Amino acid sequence: MKLIKGLILTVLLLSGTTSLQAGGGWPIPKGKGYFKLGEYFIRSNSYYSPSGEIIDIATASIYITSAYLEYGLTHRLGVTAYVPFFSRATLNEQVSSNGTVLAAGDAVNSLGDFDLSLKYGLIVNKPIVVSASLTFGLPLGNDSGGDTQVLQTGDGEFNVMLGLEASRSFNKGKGYVSTLVAFNNRSNNFSDEFRIGIEVGHKIGSKVNGALKVLSVNSLNNGNDLETPSNGIFSNNIEYLAITPELSYNLKKNLGISGAIGFAASGKRVLASPSYSLGIYMNF
């Protein structure tokens, strides 16, 4: 129980700042924007331990309903916001083979941790474009919720992440490749992180787009070795390699739907099951 009393994400996903931003290295055009309403969830009875081994746990689930917004203030400068306005974390009841309740179930509902970013185009109108981003992670989620006080919808720490993204289109603009490097400075005795990612996408027909995202999150292990619960995706010294295929379908010129499945090929202190994302988006 002492292990479960510690602190545990973001990172999502395996969600939020764990994925490449929608625009890659291209700056957001002035007066233009992108909006997405999304649902992310993961349910798992296995967990990547601090040593990277997969262990069995009581079934835990996390559900995040969020809004994501990009808007161009100038031809080089834009703002983005990730707003998980409803998050739910649950822990299933544990029952023995003879029906005895070993541990009661638990649940918490709250906001999640918000991300607010500024994004600036360093190199524009070139075959390879480069943008820099500054992201502020706001600890608005619950880091010790439920009756047991071990469920989280956030990690409880304020963080500042500096990132660089480079992108290039190919096949006459039908495809693109984007890369990401980022340094995430975390407060409250959390270790800082180094992140590196790549995303490749291409049009499939006239209305369907496919993408494959790979993100590696690595802890610098320069904070306190805080105890972490094994029932979520929020943690100190979290590490993982996430592989996420995604498909989107354009319903109309500026409106579409998307779906993705995220796989953690390896990890430490994170749930060891696929995550699922659904969304509806619009360009304006």
pLDDT at 5 over 50: no
The residue-averaged pLDDT of 161-170 equals: 97
The residue-averaged pLDDT of 150-173 equals: 93
- CB neighbours of residue 97 within 10 Å: 5
pLDDT bucket at 273, cuts 50 / 70 / 90: very high
* pTM above threshold 0.85: yes
Buried b (16+ CB within 10 A) or exposed e, 130-149: bbebebebbbbbbbbbbebe
Position 1 scores a pLDDT of 34
pLDDT tens digits, 104-125 = 889 999 999 999 999 999 999 9
Lowest-pLDDT range, 16-20, 25-29, 58-62, 101-105? 16-20
Encoded tokens for 279:
């969304």
Residue 76 or residue 14, greater confidence: 76
The span from the CA of 215 to the CA of 264, in Å, is 10
The residue-averaged pLDDT of 42-59 equals: 92
Rounded to 10 degrees, what is the CA torsion of 198, 80, 12, 232? 170
The span from the CA of 281 to the CA of 164, in Å, is 24
pLDDT bucket at 3, cuts 50 / 70 / 90: very low
pLDDT tens digits, 205-236 = 889 999 999 999 999 999 886 666 666 778 88
Residue 150 or residue 211, greater confidence: 211
The span from the CA of 83 to the CA of 13, in Å, is 15
Lowest-pLDDT range, 144-148, 169-173, 203-207? 144-148
